[in-house]
Structure 1
Amino acid sequence: MKEQEKTFSHLDASGNPAMVDVSAKAETKRIAQARSIVVLGEEIMQHLTNGDIQTKKGPVFQTAIIAGTMGAKKTSDLIPLCHPLGLESCKFNIQVNEANEVVIDCTASITGKTGVEMEALTGATVAALTIYDMCKAFSHDIVIKETKLMTKTGGKNDFERK
């Protein structure tokens, strides 16, 4: 059997931008986890106590979770061809790793006809941007190092980053 040729899903036959037609797809449980890594530097990390950084604006990681959740819910308002989704779950885990980097994991899920990768990626990204915003008074030497999809299940293909 010949492998199906891959194409960009958001282009129509004429090459114009188009929302993917999901009307013929079956509803399945879909889960995606995305990760953003933020390097805050020693000047900021010295303020880490009890698993969070306290600022005049409030607890940094707790605020990032709220902002990330709001961002995930607004993904279709930010990314033009994304379907608006009613997320069933959006959860965050924020920890500091052995390299003293802030690791933000966002897991989004839905039972539907289209996946939630963009929602998980948006949630992790907005959480990272919120951490930047809340910590920039200490230092602007902050790097949002990377954002990437870690896993995706449901739909046509599953994915897991090694």
Structure 2
Amino acid sequence: MAELTHFNDQQRAKMVDVTSKAVTARVAKATGQIKMHPETLARIHAGTMKKGDVLAVAQVAGIMAAKQTSNLIPMCHLIPLTGVDIYFSDNQQDTITAVVTVKTKHVTGVEIEALNACQISLLTIYDMCKAIDRGMLIDQVHLVEKSGGKSGHFVYQDET
């Protein structure tokens, strides 16, 4: 198991010093889903939710979230993002899946930005649909893949 790097010699939290790390292209992909009543998904498809185009708003919210990650996660570095893409698909029944890809050319990775964007996209769907469906369930949010940097390439392996 890797050594934790977010602690100083007094065992207090610190932001990791990335000053000497090399600038490399880095990509992270995260996914998650939101389960809802079939009628809720049908209304999203029909575009009849009172608050507007649910997936368009969720996409913008996710992009905004990726850009604000360092303001929300205390030890997260401010990273200049070079790309954020959010793709939605659904099972035509009751579940929407979000897949978020975040890119940078910097000294540290964008995994947290991708995970944050994914969760905020899904939470925005919840917010826009909660008037008709308060029982929606957000789950399965996880890092799918990351590349770039010293730690190399990671691909999620479902161990269940």
In the superposition, the TM-score normalised over structure 1's length comes to 0.91
Which residue matches 2:102? 108
Q: Deviations over 1:46-75 (max 9, x none)?
A: 21436xx44111100110000000000000
Give the superposition deviation at 1:132. Answer: 0.3
Which residue matches 2:14? 18
Give the superposition deviation at 1:30. Answer: 0.2
Going by fraction, where is helix more abundant, 1 or 2? 2
Aligned match of 2:40 in 39, 44, 60? 44
CA separation of 1:65 and 1:35: change in aligned 2, threshold 3 A: same
CA distance in structure 1 between the aligned counterparts of 2:97 and 2:5, rounded to whole angstroms: 30
Point out where structure 2 has 5 or more consecutive residues left out of the alignment. Answer: none
CA RMSD of aligned residues (A): 1.5
Alignment identity in percent?
A: 35
Aligned length: 156
Point out where structure 1 has 5 or more consecutive residues left out of the alignment. Answer: none
In the superposition, the TM-score normalised over structure 2's length comes to 0.92
Off by >4 Å, runs of 4+ in structure 1: none
What is the identity, as a one-letter code, of the residue corresponding to 2:155? E
* Residue pairs, 1:1-162, within 5 angstroms: 6-49=2-45, 53-97=47-91, 100-157=94-151, 158-162=153-157
* Helix, strand or coil at the partner of 1:74: helix
